[in-house]
Chain A
Amino acid sequence: MPAFTPDAVRAAAPPDLDLRLAAAERAAALAPPSPEDEVWRYSRIDELDLDWFVPGRADTTVDAPEGVHVAHGGSLDRVDDLDTIDVFHELNRAFMDAVVVSVPRGVVAERPVVVTHRVHAAGTAVFPRLIVDAAEDSELTVVEQFVSPDGLVALVVPRLEVDVAPAARLKYLGVNMLGGSTWSLAHQRALGARDSNTLLATVALGGDYARVRTEARVTGQGASTRQIALYYADDTQMHDFRTLQDHAAPRTHSDLLFKGAVQDQAKSVYTGLIKIRHDAKGSQAFQTNRNLTLSSGAWAESVPNLDIETNDVKCSHASTVGPIDEEQRFYLESRGIPPEIAERLVVLGFFDEVLEQLPVGPLAVQLREQVGAKLARRTS
């Protein structure tokens, strides 16, 4: 990956140069990931060649209400730990464009913060980083959108760091509206302190290969997290999710609902882990993943996992992969509804459970229309 060198970092003359240089050096020393690695199993990572790309920048806009602080460019070492996760994590450190959104103690933001990243330049790799700090007893909704034109070959490597202080309520929605030739390798991490409430929501409609690794970690007693996602891949798209519900404190609660569909030649993968650490007694964790396969050539995989280190917990996971339920279809058809409309009702009904829980109502209406348009393009 000759383009992503320490020299390239130096040329950009960013803040935190030393930290970035160190990250670029670590990236250069790492072996490229492979589907042989468990964490990249089922992925298309072996199709990616970083030589196709040069470092670039997305056009990022932020719309925020009164009382919420927005800073462009944040200090690298503030919320980032020094774990090396993978080469993309290090490249994000080295080349990131950071936006820091913070809501002060006790402040309830009156409307959502909307962060939009537009990728314009073909052949670029962009590394947006969004840092969200919700101070004690604050309340905030953040929407982050990723947009690129159809046919634009580009790579987006976003990273989200969310820190939710005691008793704060934070809702995040990430929306992938990337064109069908853009790759995305996203990593989200939320830390929930005592009695906090965190929602991490993702809607993935776009991209070529689009992966989201999303980690919700509760570190304080009584904290609660919820992760939801709607994904719908068509043509030759692939949506790939890795989820973690990590309980590191007693009496914590996590819930996850991921619903997806694949059609044409598209693929999806869901791999989820509930981890209950030794000192997380009295915790509850639930995980549900449901997938519709709408064409015979489409493929979906669902792999739920549990790792429980203590007793006195309540956990459940459920996962399904399959075509539209024959009984549901027949029920609607027996009412005189033609098959294509019956299927449309069932598929939109399937996704409504997630759409109703999205933190932004008007956007949900627009996303529902996009889901309907996608279904109308389906080939059997």
Chain B
Amino acid sequence: MSTLQISDLRASVAGTPILHGIDLTINSGEVHVVMGPNGAGKSTLSAVVMGKPGYEVLGGSVTLDGTDLLALPAWQRAQAGVHLVMQYPSEVPGVSLDHVMEEALVARGRSTDGLDALLESEAARIGFAPDLLHRALNVDLSGGEKKRNETLQLAVLQPRFAILDELDSGLDIDALRDCARRVEALTNDTGMGALVITHYNRLLEALRADVIHILVKGRIVASGGPELADQLERDGYAAYQTGDDADVEPVTAADRPSSLDDLFAL
């Protein structure tokens, strides 16, 4: 049993405070979903927990079974057991997926015996074309292929906690179902805990949520069971918005919609 604990986390981007005190406690096997309008700070939360450059922590803590993650560089956070599934996975020319998985296992002191077979079977399980295993990471991949790739890496590395940053953006229905089911199976089979960031609850048809949190303007304004997602679907975020428009997350190039899915999510 592991616990990922986020306490009073405050952070800024380019001098602008975005997160104003986030508290979340996620145990092994639990799926916590963070929903909220654009600019609420959802992606900032995932980036700060993983240690992405460009974000400044102003206060609070993030611990994994007592280990202070904020004191570690990103690669050590990953080795400690946190994995970020990215909304926009980077293209890395000349570096193949299978090679990266090999290096990632070696860096953890884990065996690479049977890695090829594992990659093949995981690819088949989520409908990822096997020839893409040997191609450069995310280069010339479609939106759906990139997310299947991200999900496949999660299944190979089997972290204790996964942060899914909008796994559902840029995905068609079939790919979404394949990826969500794989994540759901990991939570059941390996006890992986998940922090799921999403705009809307289509993802939750295949991935069972334990707790829904609503994030607005850098604060969690409500938490509840899966019924909260249904209520949001019906009523939107209006009930949670205040008149104060200050401190919204700046919209960067990476936040601009890249697919029809994203447009619908706005």
Q: A residues within 8 Å of B by Cβ? A: 325-328, 330-339, 341-342, 345-346, 348-353
Contact = CB atoms under 8 A, between A and B. Distances in A.
Contact of A334 (B74, B95, B107, B108): B74
A317 B265 CA distance: 38
Nearest to B94: A349
Contacts of A348: 94-95
Contact of B84 (A334, A341, A353): A334
B75 A336 contact: yes
Interface stretch (B96-104, B187-195, B233-241): B96-104
A349 B92 CA distance: 8
Given A334-B50, A336-B104, A337-B107, A327 B94 contact: no
Interface in B79-138: 79, 83-84, 86, 89-95, 99-101, 103-104, 107-108, 136-137
A341 B103 contact: yes
Contacts of A350: 93-94
Given A326-B53, A330-B53, A338 B75 contact: yes
B92 A335 contact: no
B34 interface: no
Q: Name B's interface SS.
A: mixed
B5 interface: no
A332 to B, nearest CB: 7
Contacts, number: 82
B198 interface: no
Interface of B: 50-53, 73-75, 78-79, 83-84, 86, 89-95, 99-101, 103-104, 107-108, 136-137, 153, 157
Contacts of A341: 103, 107
Given A338-B107, A345-B99, A349-B92, 12 more contacts: A331-B137, A332-B92, A333-B78, A334-B84, A335-B103, A335-B104, A336-B108, A337-B104, A339-B73, A342-B75, A346-B92, A350-B94
A335 B95 CA distance: 13
Q: Which of B83, B93, B108, B136 has the most CB of A within 10 A?
A: B93
A284 B51 CA distance: 45
B90 A331 contact: yes
Contact of B92 (A326, A328, A353): A328
A345 B92 contact: yes
B100 A352 contact: no
Contacts of A352: 93-94
B89 A331 contact: yes
A325 B99 CA distance: 19
A337 B73 contact: no
A350 B51 CA distance: 25
A63 B84 CA distance: 54
Nearest to B139: A349
Contacts of A334: 50-52, 74-75, 78, 83-84, 86
A337 B90 contact: no
A336 B92 CA distance: 16
Contacts of B50: 334
A334 B89 CA distance: 11
6 contacts: A328-B92, A330-B52, A332-B100, A336-B78, A341-B103, A349-B93
Contact of A337 (B51, B75, B84, B136): B75
A332 B107 contact: no
Contact of B74 (A330, A346, A349): A330
Contacts of B86: 331, 334
Nearest to A327: B90
B69 to A, nearest CB: 13
A189 B80 CA distance: 56
Contacts of A345: 92, 95, 99-100, 103
A330 B90 contact: yes
Contacts of A339: 73, 75
B157 A335 contact: yes
Contacts of B99: 345
A351 B94 contact: yes
A331 B86 CA distance: 9
Contacts of B108: 336
B136 A349 contact: yes
Given A341-B103, A345-B100, A345-B103, A353 B73 contact: no
A355 to B, nearest CB: 9
Contacts of A330: 52-53, 74, 90
A331 B107 contact: no
A257 to B, nearest CB: 12
A151 B12 CA distance: 52
A248 to B, nearest CB: 34
